[in-house]
Homo-oligomer: A and B are copies of this chain.
Amino acid sequence: MTQIMNNLADSIKAMGDQAREAALELSVLDTERKNDLLFALADLIETRKDVIQAANAIDLERAKANGISGALLDRLTLTDSRVKGMAQGVRDVANLPDPVGEVIEVHQPENGLDIQKVRVPMGVIGIIYESRPNVTIDCAALCLKSGNAAILRGGSEAFESNSCLAGIIGEALDANGLSPATVQLIPTTDRSALNTLLQMHETVNCIIPRGGEKLIEFVTQNSTVPVIKHYKGVCSIYVHEDADLELAARIVVNAKCDRPGVCNAIENLFIHEKVAEDFLPEVARTLEEEGVELRVDGETAQAILDQARIDYIPATEDDFYEEFLDLILSIRVVPHLLDGVAAINKYGSAHSDAIITADQDAAESFMNRVDSATVYWNASTRFTDGNQFGFGAEIGISTDRLHARGPMGIKELCTYKFKIYGQGQIRFQ
């Protein structure tokens, strides 16, 4: 058993060595050749549709046998239009401008050196994800365009689909004269392989975990490779005393109800006490119609709803920390903008938060003081998304502060190097 474990660890480590070699080659590949590869991959995905769906069918049967339910089963399914969507996604990435080689800054200090800060690939990126097999293709395309080798570790429920897609990526790489080690899928769902990957800081430059809270926590606890977390979204809206209340209600309902299961949906609503009586019954009624369960904190707010005969559940403090990902909203009335700010900084996950107000000073104060990746004035938090920001496809939404914060596109998959042009300069202490 230990022998097998050692062999597995060795073979995962060997994947890292090969990925690093492949990354060095890929890092100097020109834009045209990267794009040729991506277009070839897109075509191959369409050509191999039947093979992909046959592999997917095995995953689906196993999932059904394991009693996996509707929404998860749906996420796992590669329909005709999803296969087409994967291919189109790869073409979209090919059409993005190449981030590699861009001169970000130029410095010309007194010593006469010409210092150019140039965007370059990070190297080898490990991506850990769950459930949807199309993530395999999305991540591969984003890594390839940004010049990075990738080691992918998908979820066990999509193992056959992911293996098939990885095979197709390897075929496209090979046909375009690149090492198949440029994109590798960890060929087992064994947890110990993940543990090995997380310790490979000599060959892997960055780990991106995408998935549930437990996965992210496991990676954070066990990785010696730098991690960019894609963690939860406990987002809030603060309705200021000078808000246009109709606009506020429209935004709150959109931010809660449009897609309650995603990270940029709101979980908390804070309302200034001066507008609570006017605003709360109106918005609560609409939310009720949309099927939202209200968890309401404090006597003031509860009394307002009692009088309006609107149902609610008294909120506990824990509710405000919760990422419901469901039609549930915690509500509290606060006496001051700074109380709203403090509540968001305390309970929120620093993802996306909005203020609704007609007062510019209040808006600026809120946006400066709320310690979140994305802060909105008079707009729905639902816009936190690489495509909506105009960045093109995203690898995810970083909830970290180092390197990338918020929507993360191909530029954020790069690092930089300093290229320094001298004329024989030497330095004395």
Chain A residues with CB under 8 Å of chain B are 24, 27-28, 107-111, 113, 115, 122-123, 201, 205-206, 220-221, 224, 226-228, 244, 247, 250-251, 254-255, 258-259, 345, 367-369, 371-380, 382-384, 388-391, 400-403, 405-406, 415-429
Asked if residues A220 and B247 are in contact (CB atoms below 8 Å), the reply is no
Closest to A382 in B: B427
Q: Which residues of B contact A426 (CB under 8 A)?
A: 250-251, 254-255, 258, 379-380, 382
Closest to A259 in B: B429
Q: Which residues of B contact A379 (CB under 8 A)?
A: 113, 420-426
Closest to A385 in B: B427
Asked if residues A424 and B247 are in contact (CB atoms below 8 Å), the reply is yes
A252 nearest CB across to chain B (Å): 10
Residues A417 and B382 in contact in the complex (CB < 8 Å), given A221-B224, A368-B28, A424-B250: no
Q: Which residues of B contact A419 (CB under 8 A)?
A: 367, 375, 377
Q: Identify which of B122, B221, B258 contacts A427 (C-beta below 8 A).
A: B258
Q: Which residues of B contact A400 (CB under 8 A)?
A: 226
Q: Which residues of B contact A403 (CB under 8 A)?
A: 402-403
Asked if residues A122 and B383 are in contact (CB atoms below 8 Å), the reply is no
Residues A405 and B417 in contact in the complex (CB < 8 Å), given A379-B113, A388-B109: yes
Residues A428 and B371 in contact in the complex (CB < 8 Å), given A379-B422, A401-B123, A406-B418: no
Q: Which residues of B contact A391 (CB under 8 A)?
A: 107
Closest to A420 in B: B376
- Give complex CA distance A191, B376 in Å: 43
Closest to A244 in B: B424
Q: Which residues of B contact A369 (CB under 8 A)?
A: 24, 27-28
Q: Which of A221, A403, A406, A417 neighbours the largest number of chain B CB atoms within 10 Å of its CB?
A: A417
Q: Which residues of B contact A377 (CB under 8 A)?
A: 419-422
A335 nearest CB across to chain B (Å): 19
- Give complex CA distance A32, B228 in Å: 34
Asked if residues B107 and A375 are in contact (CB atoms below 8 Å), the reply is no
Asked if residues B221 and A371 are in contact (CB atoms below 8 Å), the reply is no
Q: Which residues of B contact A383 (CB under 8 A)?
A: 111, 113, 420, 425, 427
Q: Which residues of B contact A422 (CB under 8 A)?
A: 376-380
Q: Identify which of B115, B123, B201, B380 contacts A220 (C-beta below 8 A).
A: B201
Closest to A411 in B: B105
